[in-house]
Amino acid sequence: MKNAAQTTPPLAQLLLILSFTTGLVDAISVLGLGKVFTANMTGNIVFLGFAVADAPGFSVAPYLLAIACFLIGAVAAGLAGSRLKPGPLRRWLNLSAVIEAALLWIAAAVAIGFDVAAQETKIQLYAIIALTAIAMGYRNGTIRQLKIPDLTTTVLTLTLTGLAADSRIAGGSNPNWLRRCAAVLCIFAGAATGATLVLIYGLAIPLALTGMIILCSTLLFSVHPKSGQSGFTEPRG
């Protein structure tokens, strides 16, 4: 019997690893940056609504900053994708990984000495929010163009909906159930790992580790023969 690594296409394996790093970033941002999401924006839109309504513990500025910087990253990824469209997938993904890792490593450097409990200094706080949001916006803009079902690497609402709505209980054929479950578990594991690291070490170490995982896993994928195919052919592996 083949194991999961043998039956999961290499690109899907990479995207699952990147999903794990999303959990890391969410733990860093929510626990370390004052309940701000920098990997996905749904929570920020909701929290921004709370802030506008003057709900205690919510401020407008961090959420606006995160959303704006996320959009900047996504625009940059769209521009890069349009320019790299004829090229191999490895070049496209490697560029994304280098940009993400560099931004996260800069954020790690900024986070040295940052007081998580006091959220001080504010300059460090806003710089880390901006850098991580740009990185994850770039990630989202890149992965979106791959169009790989159930592996967005950052959000799980549609994945969980698919698990339920397409299940045999609902009369479906339960397609991609293993991939969907793996995506949920990877983000969960990343969040648990990230929370542990933030609570013990603060922000700098988990930020640096996240950048390293993103870059190393992508470079490892780039040596696979299938990474030479076009980045816009909806690759199956």
Give the pLDDT confidence of 38-66 residue by residue, as tens digits: 998 999 999 999 999 999 989 999 999 99
The tokens 């996320």 sit on which residue? 70
pLDDT value of position 106: 98
166: CB partners within 8 A, 6+ apart = 172, 173, 174, 175, 177
Task: Tell the burial category of 223 from Cβ atoms under 10 Å away from its Cβ (0-12, 13-18, 19+).
Answer: exposed
pTM score:
0.88
CATH number of the domain enclosing 197: 1.20.1250
The tokens 């980045």 sit on which residue? 231
Residue 105: which pLDDT band, with cuts at 50, 70 and 90?
very high
Q: Is residue 70 part of a domain?
A: yes
pLDDT score of 140 more than 80: yes
pLDDT score of 8 more than 70: no
Q: Is residue 39 part of a domain?
A: yes
Q: Is residue 150 part of a domain?
A: yes
Q: Is residue 21 part of a domain?
A: yes
Section 190-201 average pLDDT:
96
Residue 226: which pLDDT band, with cuts at 50, 70 and 90?
low
User: What's the domain count of the chain?
Assistant: 1
Domain of residue 190, residue span: 12-228
For the chain, the distance separating the N- and C-terminal CA atoms, rounded to the nearest angstrom, is 20
pLDDT score of 71 more than 60: yes
Q: Is residue 102 part of a domain?
A: yes
Q: Is residue 190 part of a domain?
A: yes
